[in-house]
């Protein structure tokens, strides 16, 4: 009788009848490998997620572990207190200009004590300085500024400067509306500039003369009088 072939199936290292396309049961080693793969993938996903948050925080200028408005444990400089608005300074008052004397309102006038004089009378000539302003004025009323001038038509009869012995300054403060008056008797004589001698006398018999008072550059209106 011939030899029968061995019909029993062969064992393989992985089990009975296991092949590349078989439908046998999966071994425990395969399960372990699959679990290990899934765990690693999960760890990678978590790491990527945390890394993405950290990068996002770095671009936004914030630390990943900080929270908005957190101040506990802060090591940075303390925030400065809110600046207190300074009180507005009072405006500096504009100084009011101090009124000063208006020299244009200081006037000079001339007068005589009479309108006509007899042959033996000497006219009294008066030079008057008046402050017509509203403020006191300092005025030099000394002989250095004064002149008593008498004329008759184009004829220069007398000037107090011609034979003046000396010239003095006399500064006085004249109140508003007040006046200073200087009187000088005129002996009815003639004078020449430089006090040169002259024998002629002013005419009488009803002749008219003009008296002008001067103080510096100021001159009075004419005062007319008569010599008899």
- The answer to whether 125 and 183 have CB atoms below 8 angstroms apart is yes
Cα–Cα distance, 218 to 127 (Å, whole number) = 11
Model confidence at 39: pLDDT above 70: no
Model confidence at 147: pLDDT above 70: yes
Summarised one tens digit per residue, pLDDT across range 181-228 is: 999 999 999 999 999 999 999 998 999 999 999 999 999 999 999 999
- The answer to whether 117 and 150 have CB atoms below 8 angstroms apart is no
Mind spelling out the 3-state secondary structure of the chain? CCCCCCCCCCEECCEECCCCCCCCCCCHHHHHHHHHHHHHHHHHHHHHHHHHHHHHHHHCCCCCCCCCCCCCCCCCCCCCCCCCCCCCCCCCCCCCCCCCCCHHHEEEEEEECCCEECCCCCCEEEEEEEECCCCCEEEECCCCCEEEEEEECCEEEEECCCCCCCCCCCEEEECCCCEEEEEEECCCCCCCCCCCCCCCCCCCCCEEEEEEEEECCEECCCEEEEEC
Structural domains for the chain: 26-65 (no CATH), 103-227 (2.60.40.10)
State the CB neighbour count (10 A cutoff) for residue 154.
5
Summarised one tens digit per residue, pLDDT across range 4-16 is: 444 444 444 344 4
Tokens encoding 219: 């001159």
Mean pLDDT in residue range 48-73: 42
Query: Does pTM top 0.85 for this prediction?
Result: no
């Amino acid at each position: 009788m011939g030899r029968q072939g061995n019909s029993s199936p062969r064992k393989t290292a992985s089990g009975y009848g296991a092949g590349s396309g078989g439908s046998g049961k999966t071994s425990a080693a395969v399960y372990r490998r699959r679990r290990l793969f899934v765990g690693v993938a999960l760890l990678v996903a978590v790491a990527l997620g945390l890394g993405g948050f950290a990068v996002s925080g770095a671009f936004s200028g914030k630390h990943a572990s900080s929270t908005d408005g957190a101040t506990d444990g802060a090591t940075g400089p303390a925030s400065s207190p809110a600046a207190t608005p300074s009180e507005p300074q009072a405006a500096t008052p504009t100084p009011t200009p101090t009124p000063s004397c208006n020299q244009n309102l200081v006037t000079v006038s001339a007068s005589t004590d009479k309108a006509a004089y007899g042959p033996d009378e000497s006219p009294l000539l008066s030079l008057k300085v008046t402050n017509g302003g509203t403020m006191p004025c300092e005025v030099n009323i000394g002989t250095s500024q004064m002149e008593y001038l008498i004329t008759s038509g184009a004829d220069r009869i007398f000037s107090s400067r011609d034979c003046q012995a000396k010239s003095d300054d006399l500064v006085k403060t004249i109140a508003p509306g007040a006046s200073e008056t200087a009187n000088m008797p005129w002996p009815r004589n003639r004078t020449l500039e430089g006090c040169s001698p002259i024998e002629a006398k002013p005419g009488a018999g009803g002749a008219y003369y003009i008296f002008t008072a001067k103080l510096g550059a100021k001159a009075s209106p004419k005062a007319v009088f008569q010599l008899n």
